């Protein structure tokens, strides 16, 4: 990371608390755990483990049973966490997540009708895109940030290349992000990152390996702090 990038990241952290834009909380969280669990109870235990390790950005995907109910319980158990809904595929899901207290909504794609419904909730909205054309389309629909997915296909270099034509579009890469390359993603211009299997693997959640989740969360939190220096 260059001195200029380091200074920019430090400035982001210092101003995040005072920034009341829709993306300020997401920028402050830095890392969002993309959680897919086989049951509500395992989802809650996974969130407990992640928060204990220092990761407070939590995306409860709709592949988790009773995702809205989990979101509501996470808000009660961890008021310091930034909790949202992921894999939002319908207007009904968007509304249910909003009613449960979600702070943000994430969709893997950017269809106009779905994006409109998500924006109508008044929550922070991230919709998925990969190619330059898709980034343009998502941005034109008015989303607050674009979820670059699957980011593993291009890596940090691809994100950096997109920053050229889209310097003002907030990009949140998801897929292929781990503690070892997290610094590279932020140096390339990520607003925040989403991390699924590398942070909270479905296998560990199904097996109840909560300490493993906490240890990985600690590694991500340490990498985020290092990236922001």
pLDDT tens, position by position, 102-156: 999 999 999 999 999 999 999 999 999 999 999 999 999 999 999 999 999 999 9
Q: Does pTM surpass 0.85?
A: yes
The one-character DSSP state at 18 is: T
Longest dimension (CA), the chain: 46
With vertex at residue 211, the alpha carbon angle to CA 196 and CA 78, rounded to the nearest 5 degrees, is 70
With vertex at residue 224, the alpha carbon angle to CA 39 and CA 101, rounded to the nearest 5 degrees, is 40
Residue 180's pLDDT band, with cuts at 50, 70 and 90, is: very high
Q: What is the pLDDT of residue 69?
A: 98
Residues 150/107/23/178 CA torsion (nearest 10 deg): -30
Q: What is the pLDDT of residue 21?
A: 72
Q: Quick check: 225 pLDDT over 60?
A: yes
Collapsed DSSP state (helix, strand, coil) of residue 67: helix
Q: Cα(10)–Cα(95) distance, rounded to whole angstroms?
A: 35
Q: Cα(180)–Cα(187) distance, rounded to whole angstroms?
A: 13
Catalytic residue among 4, 14, 59, 198: 59
Q: What is the pLDDT of residue 141?
A: 98
- 82-86 β-sheet, strand order: 171-173, 145-148, 124-129, 104-107, 82-86, 57-61, 31-35, 193-195
Q: Cα(105)–Cα(85) distance, rounded to whole angstroms?
A: 5
Please state, as a whole number, how many other Cβ atoms lie within 10 Å of the Cβ of residue 78: 18
147 is catalytic: yes
Q: Cα(62)–Cα(37) distance, rounded to whole angstroms?
A: 10
134 is catalytic: no
Residues 192/208/64/213 CA torsion (nearest 10 deg): 0
CATH class of 3-7+23-227: alpha beta
Q: What is the pLDDT of residue 7?
A: 36
Q: What is the pLDDT of residue 112?
A: 98
- Give the N- to C-terminal CA distance of the chain in Å, as an integer: 10
Catalytic residue among 95, 134, 147, 226: 147
Instruction: Look up tokens 């409109």; give the residue.
Output: 116
């Amino acid at each position: 990371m260059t001195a200029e990038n380091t200074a920019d990241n430090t400035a982001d952290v210092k101003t995040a608390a005072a920034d009341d834009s829709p993306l300020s909380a997401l920028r402050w969280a830095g890392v969002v755990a993309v959680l897919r669990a086989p049951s509500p109870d395992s989802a809650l235990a996974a969130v407990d483990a992640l928060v204990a390790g220092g990761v407070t950005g939590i995306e409860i995907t709709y592949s988790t049973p009773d995702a809205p109910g989990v979101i509501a319980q996470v808000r009660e158990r961890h008021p310091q966490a930034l909790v949202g809904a992921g894999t939002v595929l319908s207007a009904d899901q968007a509304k249910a997540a909003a009613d449960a207290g979600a702070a943000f909504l994430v969709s893997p794609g950017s269809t106009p009708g779905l994006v409109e419904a998500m924006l109508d909730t008044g929550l922070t909205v991230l919709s998925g895109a990969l190619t330059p054309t898709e980034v343009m389309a998502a941005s034109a629909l008015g989303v607050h940030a674009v979820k670059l997915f699957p980011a593993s296909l291009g890596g940090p270099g691809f994100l950096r290349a997109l920053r050229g034509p889209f310097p003002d579009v907030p990009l949140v890469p998801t897929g292929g992000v781990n503690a070892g390359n997290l610094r590279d993603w932020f140096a390339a211009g990520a607003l925040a990152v989403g991390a699924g299997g590398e942070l909270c693997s479905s296998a560990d959640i199904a097996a109840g390996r909560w300490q493993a989740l906490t240890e990985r969360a600690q590694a991500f939190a340490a990498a985020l702090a290092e990236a922001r220096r």
